[in-house]
């Protein structure tokens, strides 16, 4: 019996195996005759096979690892900066002027704030991506400053008490969301870039 295709499953394939047109075509062609379990087994196995092939190719040519290792290092450094530099900045603000600081004491706003930080970071990251070609020093300063500011804001401005974030792990996770947005934004290409 021929079943109706689920657009989501089909739409997902090019994102998973974008450069492997024959495999995607085979899955699209064969799936109507098979079960959903067959389809997902095939997808998971093909992803694992692809990851294995990529890893072994990277081991044969170590220079391929440079980009991935660099991105991971930047991600970790910025996340560290969000938490540590943000906390230091927060401490400095408290020492300078404790009374006039506007603080919002609504822990339920945490998720909203964290989610909002992602598109904000994406825009900043995109601007940084364009700036990168002109000035590397400016790129480093803006990236570091924005990460530290977000750290200070998450620790300080949104809370009247020190326990706005229940744990350091959650503070780190919130910071990582912002850093992730920065990295995605900086690596995304604008339509103007594509035309060039």
Partner 1 sequence: MLLLAVLRVGEEAYGVPIAREIEASGERTVMLGAVYTGLGRLEANGLVSSSIGSPTPERGGRAKKYFRVTPSGLKAVRQAKRAFTRLWSGVPGLEGGRS
Q: Which of 3, 40, 48, 111 binds partner 1 (CB under 8 A)?
A: 48
Choices 45-53, 63-71, 122-130, 157-165 (CB under 8 A): range interacting with partner 1:
45-53
Best CA proximity match to 118, nearest among 196, 185, 189: 185
Q: Please give the Cα distance from 143 to 171 (Å, whole number).
A: 18
Name the residue nearer to partner 1 (CB basis): 21 or 105: 21
The window from 24-32, 62-70, 111-119, 140-148 that contacts partner 1 (CB under 8 A) reads 24-32
From residue 56, alpha-carbon distances to 45, 49, 50, 163, 195 in Å are 16, 11, 10, 46, 34
| Contact call for residue 20 and partner 1 (CB under 8 A) | yes
**According to CB under 8 A, which residues from 92 to 121 bind partner 1?**
none
Which of 1, 4, 18, 29 forms a contact with partner 1 (CB under 8 A)?
A: 29
Residues in the chain: 196
Q: Are 150 and 178 in contact (CB under 8 A)?
A: yes
Helix axes 36-60, 21-30, angle to 10 degrees: 170
Are 180 and 75 spatial neighbours (Cβ–Cβ below 8 Å)?
Answer: yes
Binding marks (x or -) toward partner 1, 52..91, rule CB under 8 A?
A: -x--------------------------------------
Radius of gyration of the chain (CA): 22
Stretch that binds partner 1, among 26-34, 66-74, 105-113, 186-194 (CB under 8 A): 26-34
Which of the stretches 44-52, 79-87, 122-130, 175-183 binds partner 1 when contact is defined by CB under 8 A? 44-52
* Candidate list 3, 40, 49, 105; residue touching partner 1; CB under 8 A: 49
Mapped onto helix, strand or coil, the DSSP state of residue 11 is helix
The residues that touch partner 1, with contacts defined as CB under 8 A, are 10, 20-30, 38, 41-42, 45-50, 53
């Amino acid at each position: 019996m021929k079943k109706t295709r689920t657009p989501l499953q089909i739409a997902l394939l090019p994102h998973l195996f974008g450069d492997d047109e024959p495999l995607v075509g085979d899955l699209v062609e064969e799936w109507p005759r098979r079960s959903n379990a067959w389809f997902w087994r095939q997808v998971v196995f093909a992803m694992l096979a692809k990851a294995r092939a990529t890893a072994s190719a990277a081991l044969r040519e170590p220079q391929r690892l440079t980009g991935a290792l660099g991105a991971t290092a930047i991600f970790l450094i910025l996340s560290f900066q969000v938490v540590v530099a943000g906390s230091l900045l927060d401490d400095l603000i408290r020492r300078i002027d404790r009374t006039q600081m506007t603080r919002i004491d609504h822990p339920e706003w945490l998720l909203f704030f964290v989610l909002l930080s992602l598109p904000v970071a994406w825009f900043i990251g995109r601007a940084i991506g364009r700036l990168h070609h002109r000035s590397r020093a400016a790129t480093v300063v803006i990236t570091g400053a924005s990460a530290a500011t977000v750290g200070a804001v998450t620790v300080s401005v949104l809370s009247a008490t020190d326990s706005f974030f229940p744990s350091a792990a959650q503070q780190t996770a919130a910071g990582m969301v912002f850093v992730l947005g920065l990295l995605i934004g900086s690596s995304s290409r604008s339509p103007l870039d594509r035309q060039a």
